[in-house]
Amino acid sequence: MHKTPTRLADGRELIYFDARPTPRDAVDKRPLEPTSTASEARFDPLLREWVVVASHRQGRTYLPPADQCPLCPTAGDRLTEVPDADYEVVVFENRFPSLTGPPGPPAGDALFTRMPGAGRCEVVVFTSRHDQSFADLTEDRAALVLEAWTDRTAELSRLPGVEQVFCFENRGKEIGVTLGHPHGQIYAYPFATPRTERMLAAQAAYGAGNLFDDLLAAELAAGARIVLDTEHWVAFVPHAAHWPYEAHLYPRHRTPDLTGLDDASRAAFPGVYLELLRRFDRVFGPGEPPTPYIAAWHQAPVRAPGREDFALHLELFTIRRSPGKLKFLAGSESGMDVFINDVPPEQAAARLREVATA
């Protein structure tokens, strides 16, 4: 992997990731003013979790036509976020970040605690091709994306005040994407996220052994919910899946974050992940539009006690429950955090096995 960092016209950092050294000297010619954004984190004392308030994001770009896409390469007079005429993978600071700026101490009292919404938000563009998706990438390109995720996890983890790094992809209008070009995002949070803290607490309370290891071993032994079982990675639909079609992808050798993946797991990831994505696109049958999904890497917080006991894994799920129908987070899910799943996990796993590549 070869990295080439540069700066956009408003001062934001952009990094080209190439499989081999490639000249990258194009200059952003847009007349942009320096970015000026701020957000705030407020603590909910009842749920004991942080909420980020970022009002400046209301004006962000929303589903522009393909010929005005800001993630495509710059072409002639059409100037975009990527100054070069072509690229492999690029990462740049989000123009409308949810988290931004230097850290600061919490202020206020026990009921009204707040602090700066510090951190960093980056955009990861997987390909210069506007009409592709991650599932269309070659294994070499998917490997380069993995290298970019790993590099950014390492770099962002070293920033002052950053407590957790989250790499993810939203795909599809139904999920709420604002740009159709294949891309993902990375959030560097100033706190450990509630979901991760609950998993760490569950591991701490588990007692002897490791909860993640035992859960993976139990799913392998049960077999009914296994989707992919390879030498280095295992994908399964969890016993208590929240979503109609949901798969968790674990490396067989536990590591707390992407930087700890061994060479064999890293080399095997592209083939396994691309196969899983392609199955998701086939799960609702021929003629159906591409499956909307969220792909979320779960990594240990940077400095949390017990982080070495955490298991890196990717959760992939769709809000589509059947052809033409979506799973909405209505009263029970949104009001009480109790999910009602329309598809039995064993049935979902069987379907994901059924649509394997011939």
The helix (run of H) or strand (run of E) holding residue 152 is: helix 139-157
CA-CA-CA-CA torsion for 131, 133, 135, 136, nearest 10 degrees?
Answer: 30
| pTM tops 0.85 | yes
183 an active-site residue? yes
- Rounded to whole angstroms, the Cα distance separating 107 from 109 reads 7
**Whole-number pLDDT of residue 24:** 97
Binding residues for Zn(2+): 69, 72, 130, 181
Task: Give pLDDT tens digits for 93-117.
Answer: 999 999 998 899 999 999 999 999 9
276's tokens: 């899983």
**Whole-number pLDDT of residue 21:** 96
**Whole-number pLDDT of residue 358:** 60
Residue (of 295, 275, 288, 346) closest to 320 by Cα position: 288
Task: Give pLDDT tens digits for 306-331.
Answer: 999 999 999 999 999 999 999 999 99
For residue 296, the cross-strand partners are 168, 315
For residue 73, the cross-strand partners are 82
182 residue type, one letter: P
**Whole-number pLDDT of residue 59:** 61
Angle of helix 211-222 versus helix 194-206 axis, rounded to 10 = 90
Residue (of 123, 109, 133, 159) closest to 14 by Cα position: 123
Residue (of 301, 51, 52) closest to 164 by Cα position: 301
- Rounded to whole angstroms, the Cα distance separating 229 from 217 reads 12
Phi-psi region of 223 (alpha: psi -120 to 50; beta: other; left: phi over 0): left
**Whole-number pLDDT of residue 56:** 66
**Whole-number pLDDT of residue 82:** 98
Q: Which residues contact 213 (CB under 8 A, 6 or more apart)?
A: 254, 311
- Rounded to whole angstroms, the Cα distance separating 20 from 311 reads 31
CA angle 295, 298, 301 (to 5 degrees): 145
**Whole-number pLDDT of residue 343:** 97
Contact status, residue 182 vs residue 134, Cβ threshold 8 Å: yes
CA angle 61, 62, 68 (to 5 degrees): 70
**Whole-number pLDDT of residue 35:** 79
Binding residues: 69, 72, 130, 181
**Whole-number pLDDT of residue 37:** 79
Catalytic residue among 183, 248, 298, 313: 183
- Rounded to whole angstroms, the Cα distance separating 262 from 177 reads 33
**Whole-number pLDDT of residue 58:** 60
| Ranges of residues in the chain whose predicted pLDDT is under 70 | 56-60, 358
How many Å is the maximal CA-CA distance in the chain? 63
Determine the 3-state secondary structure of 57 from DSSP.
helix
Determine the 3-state secondary structure of 181 from DSSP.
coil
**Whole-number pLDDT of residue 63:** 77
Domains in the chain, CATH or no CATH each = 2-191 (3.30.428.10), 195-354 (3.30.428.10)
Distances (CA, A) of 309 to 135, 208, 214, 301: 31, 12, 12, 11
Determine the 3-state secondary structure of 42 from DSSP.
strand
String of b and e for 173-207 (b: at least 16 CB within 10 Å)? ebeebebbbbbbbbbbbbbbbeebbebbeebeeee
Contact status, residue 57 vs residue 178, Cβ threshold 8 Å: no
**Whole-number pLDDT of residue 42:** 97
**Whole-number pLDDT of residue 60:** 66
Residue (of 201, 193, 220) closest to 296 by Cα position: 193
